[in-house]
Homo-oligomer: A and B are copies of this chain.
Amino acid sequence: MTSTPIPHIESLANPTLAAALQTRIDQKTKPLGALGQLETLMLRLGLILGTEAPALQEPQMMVFAGDHGLAARGVSAYPSDVTWQMVENFLAGGAAVSVLARQHGLALTVVDAGVRHDFAPRAGLEIAKIGAGTADALEGPAMSAAECSAAIESGRRLLRERPGNTVLLGEMGIGNTSSAALLLARLTGQDIRACVGRGTGLDDAQLQRKTEILAQVLDRHPEAQAPLEALAAFGGFEIAMMVGTVLQAALEKRVIVVDGFIASSAVLVASQLQPAVLERCVFAHRSHEPGHRLMLQALQAEALLDLGLRLGEGSGAALAWPLLQSACRILAEMASFASAGVSEKSE
């Protein structure tokens, strides 16, 4: 498969900076480790941004939307039209992610990566359509190798065009828990039955049917073993475009705030191409979708929130956002034992 070469993404390993950050954290007026995962987050943000005083600037919430040929097989509880209708809802300010982006001052961009609908151009919308929905993965690959490359390239470009040092990833696409489950199964060797979930709300019989269809899709593409081949075989356009955004953001050493199951599937693909991508990621929440737990395990990642969310859109990333800001503020503003005149632990 041809694809635009991604420069090698280097590890952020920096023992000197890591030690300086850890010392700074440990000297804060609190018992050692008492801020739990927030301390891990401080260390990570410091290493990504290459400073003892990380500050998050001009955060970009990017929501990638695409349609899925497989949706016609009945793998989702909602009709495909909901994809474009929700894009309109994002842009009109009425969706969960719109409300949360407003609450937290996140710049919201909705990306048409391949929705089966023609949108009128407007502010906040990037029309970067690769096609009018992917093909049916049960009949052939969801997209061609060329489409997959084009999607990745567009994802890179869209990120390059945006300011700031932080990107939050969300998505919308009726049928895309199927793509995520297929990528998880193929790229980590998990049994598809453990990777499939109810998505937007399937009942037991529908879940059974989804599982059977996805098992057939896997059987249909025995050759799609490598990350980009699997991505092309299983889709979707929005996931492929997120792969490009993740790679470019990692290359530019931006903080990547990963939403739920679908956004994580893009990180899974990207990290198999360039493992150091993972050092740039903050996983916002653990989805209610059962495959997400397996995916986070495969990525050796721990999520910040565990609120039983299963909405996507970037809603989990937006909800976790204040925790990232808190980590930076605590690092910058909290007193040390010495500066505050507080006694240290008795020995």
Residues of A within 8 A of B (CB): 28-38, 77-79, 81-82, 85-86, 88-89, 92-96, 98-100, 102-104, 200-201, 288, 304-311, 315, 319, 322-323, 325-326, 329-330, 333-335, 339-346
Contacts and interface: CB of A to CB of B under 8 A. Distances in A.
Closest 5 CB pairs of A and B: A36-B308, A94-B335, A31-B200, A322-B322, A34-B311
Contacts of A104: 322
Nearest to A345: B77
A82 to B, nearest CB: 5
B35 A309 contact: yes
A43 to B, nearest CB: 14
Contacts of A102: 329, 333
Given A307-B304, A309-B36, A330 B96 contact: yes
Contacts of A82: 342-343
Contacts of A306: 306
A88 B341 contact: yes
Instruction: Pick the most buried of A32, A35, A323: most chain B CB atoms within 10 A of its CB.
Output: A35
A324 B73 CA distance: 39
B346 A79 contact: yes
Contact of A100 (B81, B326, B346): B326
A242 to B, nearest CB: 20
Given A37-B307, A200-B31, A326 B103 contact: yes
Q: Among A31, A78, A79, which residue has the most Cβ atoms of chain B within 10 A?
A: A31
Contacts of A342: 82, 85-86, 89
Given A35-B315, A94-B339, A78 B200 contact: no
B29 A89 contact: yes
A110 to B, nearest CB: 14
Between A28, A89, A93, the greatest number of chain B beta carbons within 10 A of the residue's beta carbon is seen for A89
Given A94-B29, A333-B99, A334-B99, A340 B88 contact: yes
A109 to B, nearest CB: 19
